[in-house]
Amino acid sequence: MSAYVSAFELFSVGVGPSSSHTVGPMRAARDFAARLRAVDGVARVTCALFGSLGATGLGHGTPDAVVAGLQGLEPETVDPDAVRSAWSGWPDGRELTLDGGRRIPFARDDVSFEPRTRLPGHPNAMTLRALDDRGAVLVDDTYYSVGGGFIRREGEPPQVAAAPFPLEFDSAEDLLALCDERHITIAEAARLNEQALRGEEDVAVGLDAIWDAMAGCVEAGLHAEGILPGMLRVKRRAAAIRAQLEAAEAESGRELPGEWLGAFALAVNEQNAAGGRVVTAPTNGAAGIVPAVAMYWWRFLADSGLGVGNAVTPHGELVGSALLGFHPEAEAAMPELDPVEVIEANRRRGIRRYLLTATALGSLFKANASISGAEGGCQAEVGSACAMAAGGLTAVMGGTNRQIENAAEIAMEHHLGLTCDPVGGLVQIPCIERNAIAASTAVTAARLALRGDGSHFVSLDTVVETMRQTGIDMSTKYKETSEGGLAVNVIEC
């Protein structure tokens, strides 16, 4: 089975603050409620949150997500305001309308927290039970939220794609060999796999929608002010930094790309921490890195002649489609457009290439290590996102496949051992700043790789395996439990 995961699964639109603790539990609860439509006599539903979900569920909005999911709400379309207090503001005695229309009594105590109990399937586990009016169990299902919003129900085989991918690879070495054999880029390989599931135009439209959601999150975060929810009372900073940068640029007449990069990442993760609309990339806790680096390229590099990379394969052959941006003479096949439209079209094609490259790399981390902070620490979330962004930026800057692999390796190598220790169980400290730093690391990794010829001593596969081993060896208290590190050494109030 191929390691490849579709871009439309790896990058999914949802709500904050956590893909594994908010989006995943919402999907699990919705799936459970949908199963209950065929069950007679349901009078009560309970949910037990185990391990990491139990330890940091309150700070991550997990019980709110469970209640929203039981009502049939979906992360992709739900109004974030409908999730934020779905459980915490629930009046005891009020009936809950399950997905499908059945009404049952529900109280906040129907959601329990059991952080000391860790189920063998995954650190993020939850058991949902449906009971009749005598208390007898009608349905008992355990779900695992395995990172990035992906879920798995106990007893079910892993979900597979609706159609087999034509280009299968299980490692970076396989991916590079496959691309060499076919004389294609990494992004092109991802495109061919996506088109096994949907048409070329649908792929382009879908990637554009992902980017629009990312860019919208950046823009919203750059203009939002106030205090983030939770006992830490963290003040939003992205909007103030934006105002400072705009004033400084107006005065000096020169741009400050590096400082904007950090502001973009802060903007996204402040939106995430506030429970706003975000794109998992590949998780919510690391959601700012891929959009920030993409926006950095979009605003400062795309029109400089540095954003047309990978139009030609390493062998100099023309490949791919004009629509998705793999043909160097794509503009010649387009109708007459004004200069502004041409610039927009060029940028769009670059972003598609960026996202497809990042998807291929992210698939390797998910398949061969982990993208779950509860399973592998923050190296699994921020480290993976940093590597994906570094590879994507290298691709749109004209890097070869081996330079892309090198950039991802550099980025991940310097996140090995990174712990997940959110203060107060909130995705705020150190998570928000950590995304800004990792975005800068991604750009540095891309620049270093582009200065080389793609050859390097440590392979990406070696780093992924090292990351997996490090996650296994890492103490549980450093895996999104808030039982170690900054989480216990910082006074919360």
pLDDT digits (tens, 9 = 90+) for 441-480: 999 999 999 999 999 999 999 999 999 999 999 999 999 8
Average pLDDT over residues 236-263: 97
Write down the pLDDT at residue 329: 46
β pairing state of 277-279 and 13-15? antiparallel
SS (H, E, C) 288-336: CHHHHHHHHHHHHCCCCCCCCCCCECCCCCECCCCCCCCCCCHHHHCCC
Distance CA 377, CA 227 (A): 27
Write down the pLDDT at residue 305: 56
Which percentage of the chain shows pLDDT scores above 70?
91
Average pLDDT over residues 238-251: 97
Is it the case that residue 342 has pLDDT exceeding 90?
Answer: no
Cα→Cα distances 167→177, 196, 362, 408, 427, Å: 11, 10, 16, 21, 37
Residue 112 and residue 47 in contact, taking contact as beta carbons nearer than 8 Å: yes
Is it the case that residue 327 has pLDDT exceeding 60?
Answer: no
Tokens of 452: 């080389």
Is it the case that residue 312 has pLDDT exceeding 50?
Answer: no
Distance CA 403, CA 88 (A): 48
Among the residue ranges 93-97, 123-127, 285-289, the one predicted with the least confidence is: 93-97
Residue-level length of the chain: 493
Among the residue ranges 89-98, 392-401, 445-454, the one predicted with the least confidence is: 89-98
Is it the case that residue 491 has pLDDT exceeding 80?
Answer: no
Write down the pLDDT at residue 93: 79
Distance CA 24, CA 7 (A): 17
pLDDT band of residue 318 (cuts 50, 70, 90) is very low
Is it the case that residue 323 has pLDDT exceeding 80?
Answer: no
